[in-house]
Chain A
Amino acid sequence: MKVLELIRFELAYQARRPVNYLYFFALTFIAFLFSRLGIKGIAEVSVQVKENAPLIIHQLTALLNLPLLLIASAVMGTLVIRDFDKGISPLLFTSPINRRQYLAGRFVGGILVLIIISFGSLLGAMAGEFFANKPAQEMLPFQPWVYLNAFITITLPNLFFVSGLYFAGGSLSKKATVVYTQGILLVMIISFLDEGVIETARNLKLATLFDFYTLQLVNLETKYWSAAEINTQNIPVSASLLINRSIYLGIGVLMLVLTFFRFQTTLPTSKKNK
């Protein structure tokens, strides 16, 4: 019950932060824009592939994960830091909640807010299709489940992974600089993995298991698909994709376990107290 109360309060608290609405609308706008203009041009596919083919929607969803990485650091990394910065932690840590309840309440509340914000990418991308800057013959009929499928496959596991990472960084260091450094490092590491490791790997199949965006993994699996197949078939839920997603979900879980074990509800002495 206390965890539910902590989650309820977190949602109510976050609902009062204008910046969350800004994140949502900015993400919706970016998604709308990319979807409207079409990203087929940057995807290496045949001209016969439709603008809203499942593979293209998969790629669009992956692309929209990049701004979400940064938004996640601002939302998830600061959840616990906030209580220390505002000075309310002595009141919270002397109320009858234990650290597991406290952390669970903050994490679940935060990630729910992040998921709601990330719906902006889903809604924007879907809406963009109706205003697509393409002739009707280049488009397939609207298939909302394709967007939802890509959102569930790429965005949700990635959000859990980065949330775990930022939450651990913020909660254990209690420093915003650590979270933002994490954010920058993460983008750099993901880019390095993507361009420096996976693209040059001898065993591409093995390397794509660590593909954060799952772009190269899916490209590898759909490499020999005809344009007609790309237009009609959904992204295959392969063993590789499941392992890939499990790796990222697993790291997220590990980060949470680490936080739950290492976090202390004792407080360092304030400067006033000698």
Chain B
Amino acid sequence: MKLSIYNLQKTYANGVKALNGVSLEIESGMFGLLGPNGAGKSSLMRTLVGLQEADQGSASLGEIDVLNNKEALRENIGYLPQSFGLYPKVSAEMLLDHFAALKGVTDRKARMKLVNELLNKVNLEAHRKKHLGGFSGGMKQRFGIAQALIGNPALLVVDEPTAGLDPAERNRFHNVLSEVGEQTIVILSTHIVEDVKDLCTQMAILNKGQLCLKGAPAELVNQLNGQVWEKAFDKAEVAMQRQKHSVISERVFAGQTLIRVFSEHSPAEGFEAVTANLEDVYFSQIGLTTQNLAQP
């Protein structure tokens, strides 16, 4: 099955253009959607799962018209939203059983078996009887992925899934996702470059509602190789360097600021050619706006 998105547009009532003509073709496997906060990732995800209407454009999942046939769409998707809540006084087992029944697993025994398997898969089997109100953020997230996996959906949309997870939980989450991604279209929306690097065979970068780049992470990195240069500067010189070069990223190292620059040739004396990585690809596309805001 293939997900085809064509010219999706969405402008909110406050005038923010969340999606500005996004077109994409996504095949089975893990697809990473990278972008800074406010890039339009969640808007795209919510439109694809039918929680939001697009102003213009079209999308299809196989034969299903995603924007106009929501009932058929919902039979074929799993969704883990960026933020969601659960009924606090209900056990994990009971709520998962309910979702399984809603997703068409009508046979009680089959449903019990499925609930057991899913709780096991997300490592929650020991907490099956526990009320969801007592779950930590990571446990809640794992429950979220368990409900999204019910019914082997053709399209699994996970929006910022690893935010707030500790490293062990993040690894476990990655393992579950990569296992699913073997037969399913998995769209992983994130602003964490490492998640995409570790998991995805294809990716795209979204910024300000527009698609900037699409391809296989390794290929995109290869395209940058030989064009990324690095040099350490004192803090006082950094501003000037930004004006002189196409700065991809900056980071503080041993009291100095290491600047990575995009250039086909050596940009200046003292710059060393370095191996490009996915962060370089990402930052070279979205500019330094976000990073500058994050730094003191």
Contact = CB atoms under 8 A, between A and B. Distances in A.
Contacts of B201: none
Contact of B52 (A5, A88, A269): A269
B12 A269 contact: yes
A201 B267 CA distance: 93
A1 interface: yes
Contacts of A267: 46, 51-52
A96 B75 CA distance: 5
A97 B86 contact: no
Contact of A94 (B12, B49, B88, B104): B49
Interface secondary structure of B, over-half rule: loop
A135 interface: no
A272 B159 CA distance: 12
Interface string B86-129: 11111000100011011110100000000000000000000000
Nearest to B72: A96
B182 interface: no
Contact of A86 (B70, B77, B87, B144): B87
A4 B74 CA distance: 19
A6 B42 contact: no
A99 to B, nearest CB: 10
A93 B50 CA distance: 8
B218 interface: no
B215 interface: no
Contact of A87 (B37, B77, B85): B85
Interface residues of A, number: 29
Interface stretch (A11-19, A44-52, A124-132, A147-155): A11-19
A132 B52 CA distance: 60
Size category of the binding interface on chain B = 35 or more
B84 A90 contact: yes
Contacts of A16: 89-90
A266 B12 contact: no
Contacts of A17: 89
A266 B102 contact: no
A13 B90 contact: yes
Contacts of A87: 83-86
Given A86-B86, A90-B51, A274-B16, A98 B71 contact: yes
A94 B101 CA distance: 14
A137 interface: no
Contacts of A273: 18, 38, 42-43, 46, 82
B53 interface: yes
B147 interface: yes
A91 B81 contact: yes
A270 interface: yes
B173 interface: no
A90 B81 contact: yes
Contacts of B102: 2, 5-6, 92, 95-97
Nearest to A94: B79
A9 interface: yes
A86 B82 contact: no
Given A94-B74, A96-B103, A274-B38, A88 B49 contact: no
A93 B49 CA distance: 9
Contacts of A274: 16, 18, 37-38
A272 B83 contact: yes
Contacts of A91: 79, 81, 84, 99, 144, 147
Contacts of B147: 91
B109 to A, nearest CB: 16
Given A16-B90, A91-B99, A96 B71 contact: yes
Interface string A1-43: 1100110010011001100000000000000000000000000
Contacts of B51: 90, 93-94, 265-267
A160 B156 CA distance: 40
24 contacts: A2-B101, A9-B98, A12-B94, A13-B89, A86-B85, A86-B86, A86-B87, A88-B87, A91-B99, A91-B144, A94-B49, A94-B79, A95-B99, A96-B74, A96-B75, A97-B74, A97-B102, A266-B51, A267-B46, A269-B43, A269-B46, A270-B83, A273-B46, A274-B16
Interface of B: 12, 16, 18, 37-38, 42-43, 46, 49-53, 70-71, 74-75, 77, 79, 81-90, 94, 98-99, 101-104, 106, 144, 147
Interface of A: 1-2, 5-6, 9, 12-13, 16-17, 86-88, 90-98, 265-267, 269-270, 272-274
Given A87-B83, A91-B99, A91-B144, 11 more contacts: A87-B85, A88-B84, A88-B87, A90-B51, A91-B79, A91-B81, A94-B74, A95-B102, A97-B102, A266-B50, A273-B42
